[in-house]
Amino acid sequence: MVNLTGDDMRRFRGSDEKNPFEAMSERFDRAAKLLDLEEDLYAVMRVPSRELKVYIPVKMDSGHIEVFEGYRVQHNFARGPAKGGIRYAPDVSLDEVKALAAWMTWKCAVVNVPFGGAKGGIICDPRQMSIGELERLTRRYTSELIDFIGPEKDVPAPDMNTGEQTMAWIMDTYSMHARHTVTAVVTGKPIALGGSLGRREATGRGVLFVVNEAIKRFDLTPEQTTVAVQGSGNVGGIGAELMWEAGYKVVAISDINSGIHNPDGLNIPHVLEYLNQNKSLEGYPGVKQISNKDLLEIDCDVLAPCATENQITSENAGRIKCKILAEGANGPTTPKADKILHEKGVFVIPDILANAGGVTVSYFEWVQDRMGYFWSEDEVNVRLQDKMVASFNELCHYADKHNVDTRTAAYMLAIDRVAYDTRMRGIYA
Ligand code: NAD
């Protein structure tokens, strides 16, 4: 059984509140201990299965060669092929990718889809790169990973600063090596290339579905519920728009540079159109301009951090005013902040459930690609709703049964499922 010594704790956890892998490990340790997980399983499950580091030479438009550093971490295969996005950003680090890969394992287990977890990243600034440079970077990265990815091995998807075009390039590069088209090697592809209807909106829609369930616990209707959304990309922008369509009063939204606030509610389609045209929320009329930091602390019923990690920490958790925290982003809250939020009575919909709509429809895309038969958007959305609502209820039931907070319950439920499959397979023997 798990019996951590102080040294173990220090070695595993370190002291950096903002290290995502340590944040993941701390939650994992707590849940494993509460589950009384066998030591052997504990040792297998808390580390990644494989960490790949690649150096990617790319011919830049200027003619010179730049070498980029990239990663793919495959955390766990106990329940099926590994699954997880690829992120392009200047601050990508191996620890971040390791954490994101582990979160994918737990997320797939929470919504009970037959995948393990993986994640990839390249240290680059895509905003400073041309389309041609990004294509060459993506194709070369894919070539480096060719032996490690595939429909039965590891299935990448988009994450921050990657999208349908990136997935199309990966699918094409992989297919060139396979010498036939292999659509199921990635998800989040363009619809015409084997993508699924509803995938683009799936993560934001999943956030909507779990928020719909959570507000019932506070006897609120969408019309009575105010929402603040950090981030206006795939998750935040689409999530905010879907909540606005469903009748929620979205009072604040931001992008990486700044945010806007109007306590009477924002017209989200209009805001997103403005952002699309101006590449900034600055100058949007009739609102108060706020910072990302201010956004997290405004008065609202639902706060949805949908941008990046470490936004709610021990420094600002005491000032968070929402009733419900719907974590659209991965890892937006640190373990120290968890304790403060718990004491304040904030109902947390943890990231590994709240943003699982994306991987759920990625799973649907993989299924459709493999059978070569595609579903209508309504079919996709109904199946997504069934999955998200059932997983939400299962999680709340698990939290009540074990008398733990929802974050701990999510980890316990996930670890329980991965541990069961690992035990049955005997792959750690
Ligand atoms: P995106 O690139 O489409 O959008 C990111 C948004 O966050 C943008 O509005 C950007 O301006 C903003 N942002 C970036 N860095 C920021 C910072 N430091 N502070 C404040 N705002 C910042 O990315 P996305 O796909 O929407 O992903 C957002 C988060 O959701 C990430 O944590 C990602 O891992 C997670 N996630 C995404 C999906 C998906 O399907 N796209 C699925 C599950 C989880």
Q: What is the pLDDT of residues 324-376, one digit of tens each?
A: 999 999 999 999 999 999 999 999 999 999 999 999 999 999 999 999 999 99
Alpha carbon of 54 to ligand 1 centroid (Å): 24
Calculate Rg over the CA atoms of the chain: 21
Structure tokens at 117: 């977890």
Residue 159: CB within 6 Å of ligand 1?
yes
pTM reported for the whole predicted model? 0.94
Query: What whole-number distance in Å separates Cα of residue 24 and Cα of residue 220?
Result: 32
Q: For ligand 1, atom 13, which residue shows the shortest CA distance?
A: 256
| Residue 216 neighbours by CB distance under 10 Å | 9
Catalytic (active site) residue 83:
no
The pLDDT of residue 428 is 54
Q: Quick one: residue 47, left, alpha or beta (phi over 0 = left, psi -120 to 50 = alpha)?
A: beta
DSSP 3-state of 319? helix
Q: What is the pLDDT of residues 32-83, one digit of tens each?
A: 999 999 999 999 999 999 999 999 999 999 999 999 999 999 999 999 999 9
Residue 332: CB within 6 Å of ligand 1?
no
Query: What whole-number distance in Å separates Cα of residue 8 and Cα of residue 19?
Result: 17
DSSP state of 83: E
Residue 271: CB within 6 Å of ligand 1?
no
* Residue 235 Cα: closest atom of ligand 1: 26
Query: What whole-number distance in Å separates Cα of residue 251 and Cα of residue 263?
Result: 5
Q: For ligand 1, atom 29, which residue shows the shortest CA distance?
A: 329
Provide the strand spans (E) within 152-280.
Answer: 154-158, 226-230, 249-254, 259-261
Residue 329: CB within 6 Å of ligand 1?
yes
Q: What is the pLDDT of residues 401-410, one digit of tens each?
A: 999 999 999 9
220 pLDDT tier (thresholds 50, 70, 90): very high
